[in-house]
Structure 1
Amino acid sequence: MISTGYRCPWYDGGADDTSESLPGTTNQKIIPSRSTNVTAPGELLAKRRISDDAAGYRILLELLAEHGDSPESPIPVAIETSRGLLVAALRTGRRRVFAINPLAASRYRDRHGVSRKKSDLGDALVLANILRTDMAVHRPLPADSDQAQAIAVLARAQQDAVWNRQQIGNQIRSLLREYYPAALDAFLAKQGGLAREEARIILAKAPTPTEASRLSLSQLRSVLKRAGRVRGIEEEADRLRGVLRAEYAHQPAAVEDAFGKQLLALLKQLEAACQASEDLAEAVDACFREHPDAEILLSFPGLGVQFAARVLAETGDDRDRFADARGLKAYAGSAPITRASGKKHYVGRRMVKNNRLHHASYLWAFSSLRSSPGAQAHYRHRRDLGDWHAQAQRHLFNRLLGQLFHCLQKRVLFDEQRAFNSPVSSSTAAAA
């Protein structure tokens, strides 16, 4: 579906916006598109149903050209998604494309009728009128460079691979709890848990506790060497042998064998997820380091290549995207939101936000506590004022985002002394 407002703003309902979806999930569909064009007073000029492909895009361009579209003065477009081939085609040249959140479009729909009816043509008219009347309060899609968009693709894919790996690891842990508690005792206490290469190899070699109890010291040493371990092999082999041969409750032999086959199937998925995560991490590293903003982002405490790439992927490199640091903070969900009505006044955390940036920012703030005395002092000060851990951490990354906005705008590196020069942080850091 496509729609136009003043100077033909257009809308495409070919895919749902997923900016507020759960991490690692998508919700996309492709349907024929409806195009509508209205004048400044709201008069309908044209409507057309197009397909979400090259032929549909050509039809759209012809329809736009009939109503005054030109390379020098392109007609803006309203659309309910920020990605896809149609969006990429629309963003060529100087055309402004407005990605309207479906929730906002739903609220606008209620302005035109209280019956809650819904249709493609009606939604197209709603988006057309959004740009006709309220274009100034909506931001067009940022003019990010191709390099930044490529980093966004890789960083989001790597983040999805990590989430997928964790999800499969959780399934394996739940399965092992049913019949193989020795494996949990052997590997969960180690960093990486069941995703460790040595854990995957041992579980693939001995998918049942009966088979694991038969593993010899030489076999365990061989597995540890194959997993890349070079130190403490003898001690670790002895520990694993003792854990795997300890006394545990057992399922019947046939049931245990069935569980073992299920484990092998999940291990294949986990192996693929781990390999995908590693390959995408290497691709992110290579692509991100070539970006002009990489040096500035990596100068911040707690930001490694992967976290920095995720931050760049969600904020982009269009320096006109946010008018000030407050816009960036609101986009990340770190700035509080106020709800006031009469004598009621409530200030709380922001629920509508970029979930990927919000997730990365929390990890960034947590990592900065070890590498930045100023960040640690700021966090301790907030805890002393009565903030919970999550509140203090959100307050810290709110401040870090403000500093990031300043450094990117001024093209300067992070400076610990200038970033945390308040009397509170200075005195706390000196006392530590």
Structure 2
Amino acid sequence: MDVFCGIDWAEGHHDVAVIDGTGKLLAKCRIGDGLEGYQVLLDLLADHGDSVESPIPVAIETGRGLLVATLRTGTRQIFAVNPMAASRYRDRHGVSRKKSDPGDALMLANIIRTDMPMHRPLAADTELAQSVAVLARAQQDAVWNRQQVCNQLRSLLREYFPAFLEAFKDKQGGLARPDARRILAVAPTPALAAKLPLSRLTAMMKRAGRRRNVEADAERLQQVFRREAPHQAPLVEEAMGKQAAALLLQLDAVCEAVADLAQATEEAFRAHPDAPIMLSFPGIGSQIGARILAEIGDDRTRFATAGGLKAYAGAAPITRASGKRHYVGRRFVKNNRLNHVGHLWAFASLSGSAGADAHYRRRRTGGDWHMQALRHLFNRMLGQLHHCLLARIPFDETIAFPSAPQPTTGTATV
């Protein structure tokens, strides 16, 4: 007898429903979010035939957390149903629009009972791949947080200290640079910055790691800081300086987190067997490769075809056709992290691959705007990555971008 389980996940408790192949409710319960609750759930599944040889599939509205990690032991299939998709299924079971946690658990169990082939189970990624995913996503979040704090600090400096923004506007990294953060920590107001002697500016830049053109850049900074400019009232300027110092503490912390997570991510990624294949592709370094591996995993059965992977990444177009209307456009439902790193990969490959650059320029000549051409290049490179990972072979420029046949010249001889 086929048995299915649905779990309505919540922060403090979880509702469980177990049904048979006809949809009959066999058992239901509410468990706590802890070891005792998880054991009650496993015992309940075992009472209804769950075993290593024939595990009961489970549908739940999340794909992470300790509960999911507990259920993923062995070969059990876990279906993480999107909450939006679950809400659509809810209308199939009643028109009154009623909702309850036990009812949602029953509805989730019925989803995999009736439409299991339409839903993809969680990938059986290795432990190393899962650890790379945790680190790569954390590093990406830290980079986004760093930019957010930089934007807040920049907005504040525009109000009372625009000369500091001008001093570092053409420098890579901007306000997140070590020398910029060190100078701003010592002189958070225009009055203090104007009093900085050249020797101290030079010393701070060297302590921040600068090795080239230090003296010339220190003279430039001193000139910028001492230039005549409008000022806030002294007390207001001092208060804004304290606010900038507080934001700077946050920026220092997030910059340190970005660096630490980047190092840990690179170490974990290079230890993975897929790393040499990914690194053979133009435009893929340790960070981009780790982010790609984090989103596609190393379960090669997850994407049966390259088209499935392209659709998951949002690189493949979507078609909407009805009657005489036919529309082809980009996908809006996709893995946003993979789509984001895909554009970084495509852009970086332009300088590392003559074939990729020629493909991009050919698309641009054909009428594509910049992002369209990059998306099309990402689509092509993603298909090549799917093939190389399955075949366990590195990237080959001559195969990936074969040169066009040259036209023959002269007269043919008989």
Q: Answer whether TM exceeds 0.5 for this pair.
A: yes
Q: How many residues align?
A: 407
Residue aligning to 1:83: 64
Equivalent AA in structure 1 for residue 400 of structure 2:
A
Residue aligning to 1:315: 296
Equivalent AA in structure 1 for residue 270 of structure 2:
R
- Provide, for residues 1-33 of structure 1, a one-character-per-residue CA deviation record: whole Å limited to 9, x for no partner: xxxx9512322423xxxxxxxxxxxxxxx1311
* Contact map agreement 2:6 2:106 (CA 8 A) in 1: no
**By how many angstroms is 1:41 displaced?**
1.4
Candidates 9, 13, 19, aligned match of 1:13: 9
| Partner Cα separation in structure 2 for residue 84 and residue 337 of structure 1 | 32
* Contact map agreement 2:52 2:74 (CA 8 A) in 1: yes
Query: Is residue 324 from structure 1 mapped to residue 305 from structure 2 by the alignment?
Result: yes
| Partner Cα separation in structure 1 for residue 185 and residue 314 of structure 2 | 42
Equivalent AA in structure 2 for residue 149 of structure 1:
Q
| Partner Cα separation in structure 1 for residue 48 and residue 36 of structure 2 | 19
| Partner Cα separation in structure 1 for residue 311 and residue 228 of structure 2 | 54
Matches within 5 A, 1:244-255: 244-255=225-236
Query: Is residue 93 from structure 1 mapped to residue 74 from structure 2 by the alignment?
Result: yes
| Partner Cα separation in structure 2 for residue 334 and residue 62 of structure 1 | 43
| Partner Cα separation in structure 2 for residue 175 and residue 114 of structure 1 | 52
Residue aligning to 2:122: 141
Between the aligned residues of both structures, percent identity stands at 65
| Partner Cα separation in structure 1 for residue 44 and residue 30 of structure 2 | 11
Structure 2 gaps, min length 5: 408-414
**By how many angstroms is 1:394 displaced?**
0.5
Matches within 5 A, 1:36-51: 36-51=17-32
| Partner Cα separation in structure 2 for residue 145 and residue 373 of structure 1 | 35
Residue aligning to 2:196: 215
| Partner Cα separation in structure 2 for residue 99 and residue 58 of structure 1 | 21
For the residue of structure 2 that corresponds to 1:423, the secondary structure is: coil
* Contact map agreement 2:79 2:120 (CA 8 A) in 1: yes
Residue aligning to 2:206: 225
For the residue of structure 2 that corresponds to 1:47, the secondary structure is: strand
**By how many angstroms is 1:423 displaced?**
2.5
| Partner Cα separation in structure 2 for residue 392 and residue 11 of structure 1 | 43
Matches within 5 A, 1:10-409: 10-14=6-10, 30-409=11-390
Structure 1 gaps, min length 5: 15-29, 428-432
- Provide, for residues 51-103 of structure 1, a one-character-per-residue CA deviation record: whole Å limited to 9, x for no partner: 12211111111111221111211100001111100101100011111111111
* Contact map agreement 2:194 2:225 (CA 8 A) in 1: yes
| Partner Cα separation in structure 2 for residue 306 and residue 272 of structure 1 | 20
- Provide, for residues 104-129 of structure 1, a one-character-per-residue CA deviation record: whole Å limited to 9, x for no partner: 11111121223332211221121111
**By how many angstroms is 1:421 displaced?**
1.2
Equivalent AA in structure 2 for residue 9 of structure 1:
C
- Provide, for residues 240-275 of structure 1, a one-character-per-residue CA deviation record: whole Å limited to 9, x for no partner: 011111121110000000000000000000000000
| Partner Cα separation in structure 1 for residue 332 and residue 98 of structure 2 | 27
Larger CA Rg, structure 1 vs 2: 2
Equivalent AA in structure 2 for residue 211 of structure 1:
L
Equivalent AA in structure 2 for residue 259 of structure 1:
M
* Contact map agreement 2:8 2:101 (CA 8 A) in 1: no
For the residue of structure 2 that corresponds to 1:9, the secondary structure is: strand
* Contact map agreement 2:6 2:107 (CA 8 A) in 1: no
Task: Could you list the structure 1 runs, at least 4 aligned residues long, displaced by more than 4 angstroms after superposition.
Answer: none
Equivalent AA in structure 1 for residue 330 of structure 2:
R
| Partner Cα separation in structure 1 for residue 304 and residue 125 of structure 2 | 16
* Contact map agreement 1:6 1:131 (CA 8 A) in 2: no
For the residue of structure 2 that corresponds to 1:334, the secondary structure is: coil
**By how many angstroms is 1:374 displaced?**
0.7
- Provide, for residues 325-360 of structure 1, a one-character-per-residue CA deviation record: whole Å limited to 9, x for no partner: 011111111111111112211111111111111111
* Contact map agreement 1:302 1:368 (CA 8 A) in 2: yes
| Partner Cα separation in structure 2 for residue 172 and residue 354 of structure 1 | 30
